[in-house]
Amino acid sequence: MPDENRTEELAIMGGTPSFEKILHVGRPNIGDSERLLERISGTLDRGWLTNNGPNVQEFERELSKLLGVEHCIATCNATVALEITIKATGLTGEVIVPSWTFIATAHALQWQGITPVFCDVDPVTHNLDPRRVEEMLTPRTTGIMGVHLWGRPCDIDALAYIARRHNIRLIFDAAHAFDCSYKGRMIGGFGDAEVFSFHATKYVNTFEGGAIATNDSELAARIRLMKNFGFEGYDEVSHIGTNGKMNEISAAMGLTSLESLEEFVNVNCRNYQQYREELDGLPGVRLLPYDETEMSNYQYVVLEIDAPATGLSRDELVQVLWAENVHARRYFYPGCHRMEPYRSYYPHAGQMLPVTEKLAERVLSLPTGMAVGGEQITTICSIIRTAVSRSYTIRRRLSEMSPLTTAATKIRTQP
């Protein structure tokens, strides 16, 4: 299937790269910078830079309103927020988590001496498979930590049922799922608590930041203490704690981002729909769908590559794209269980994770967000179509190239 849109040679075959500047996955969405500077200027005038300042208080109120959750506690990032939530909910022993997630999900548990028990995911949803969760329960299990991967909610009802029946905790790493819904209710109010990330690469950012959402007032009070060293009053510490506070500049960025939420989601949704149309019908290339009856932030454009049908493996396609300066990412290759320290601690974990291992070989993320425009998406899709139509030649070419000159080398050394 020759591509009519693309007459010039692919860069991997010796042509000029399609893009002069590198296209990244996860370039920040930035709202109205004038508004942001006003807020920062006001913050400097007040001289109240952190410690539950007015921006943080306002940001928390706005989050609560948007999510329909009683308590939202802003934090310095999502990893510390997860750590605090894990401790505040009293998790110990073993906690069931997916391996198919960003490494922070597992680290937040292991950091506190809790064993992350890696559980396989559903091949269609990429989220925890409740049937597998049941199999991983032991007398040491104290909780389940689901991840709403790509902003697509877990099978929350099934997980909640398991948690209730076994009297264990249920918390969610909702780092991807800000402004998304499950059965018409916003993510944030499910389980014992849910944790959002406002890292620069996420849909809404506060440079670095996160938030813990919960409807449990007692838990919220404990979390508030824990994120501020356990301080109850000026000289009174009533709980063990850490420093998980969000600062005022971050909250200013958060408030400004929230004002542009509609624009962010519209751009993401338009990008996603364009990718879907322009990749439609390509053999072996599946674009992960979003449920259009739910709220979604459309933050990730995720492809699954079925190598036998495409004629190219995911890694080969990634090399083609990198040669064009499209830095597609292999999120979340190779899975937490294949990274240290888990690889050494649990060398056989992969035996229980056939779907995760398969996804790790098949999935790639493409650039989207405010920094990516329609013309760029057309070019990216045309590169992919051309690569698939010429898979045989590209394969031969890649096998002739010295491994040192291939893009794979760069992928490995990139942060």
Ligand X SMILES: *Cc1c(COP(=O)(O)O)cnc(C)c1O
Q: Using CB under 6 A, list all residues that contact ligand X.
A: 77-79, 101-102, 104-105, 147, 173, 175-176, 197, 199, 210
Give the 3-state secondary structure of residue 117: strand
Please say which residue, 79 or 319, places its beta carbon nearer to ligand X: 79
Please say which residue, 103 or 269, places its beta carbon nearer to ligand X: 103
For residue 201, the minimal CB distance to ligand X (Å) is 7
For residue 81, the minimal CB distance to ligand X (Å) is 7
CA neighbor of 365 nearest in space, from 331, 338, 402: 331
What span, in angstroms and rounded, lies between the C-alpha atoms of 220 and 222? 5
Q: Sheet of 301-305: strands edge to edge?
A: 285-287, 301-305, 363-366
Please say which residue, 78 or 96, places its beta carbon nearer to ligand X: 78
- The string of DSSP codes covering 200-262 is TTSSS--SS-EEEEES-HHHHHHHHHHTBTTBSSSS-B-S---B-PPPHHHHHHHHHHHHTHH
Instruction: Count CB neighbours of 253 within 10 A.
Output: 28
For residue 42, the minimal CB distance to ligand X (Å) is 25
CA 359 to chain CA mean position, Å = 16
CA neighbor of 356 nearest in space, from 377, 376, 384, 337: 337
For residue 135, the minimal CB distance to ligand X (Å) is 23
Q: Which two tokens stand for residue 197?
A: 């990330």
Please say which residue, 205 or 379, places its beta carbon nearer to ligand X: 205
What span, in angstroms and rounded, lies between the C-alpha atoms of 126 and 286? 13
What span, in angstroms and rounded, lies between the C-alpha atoms of 27 and 201? 6
Please say which residue, 18 or 356, places its beta carbon nearer to ligand X: 356
Please say which residue, 246 or 282, places its beta carbon nearer to ligand X: 246
Q: Sheet of 71-75: strands edge to edge?
A: 71-75, 210-214, 193-197, 169-173, 141-147, 94-98, 115-119
For residue 102, the minimal CB distance to ligand X (Å) is 4
Please say which residue, 226 or 407, places its beta carbon nearer to ligand X: 226
What span, in angstroms and rounded, lies between the C-alpha atoms of 210 and 72? 10
For residue 104, the minimal CB distance to ligand X (Å) is 4
- What is the 3-class SS of 158-203, one letter each residue? HHHHHHHHCCCEEEEECCCCCCCEECCEECCCCCCEEEEECCCCCC
Q: Which two tokens stand for residue 102?
A: 């960003």
For residue 206, the minimal CB distance to ligand X (Å) is 9
For residue 173, the minimal CB distance to ligand X (Å) is 5
Report the length, in residues, of the chain. Answer: 415
Please say which residue, 197 or 214, places its beta carbon nearer to ligand X: 197
For residue 324, the minimal CB distance to ligand X (Å) is 26
Please say which residue, 18 or 197, places its beta carbon nearer to ligand X: 197
Please say which residue, 75 or 313, places its beta carbon nearer to ligand X: 75
For residue 28, the minimal CB distance to ligand X (Å) is 13
Please say which residue, 10 or 355, places its beta carbon nearer to ligand X: 355
CA neighbor of 154 nearest in space, from 85, 90, 97: 97
Do 144 and 95 meet the contact criterion of CB atoms below 8 Å apart?
yes
For residue 4, the minimal CB distance to ligand X (Å) is 38
Do 360 and 333 meet the contact criterion of CB atoms below 8 Å apart?
yes
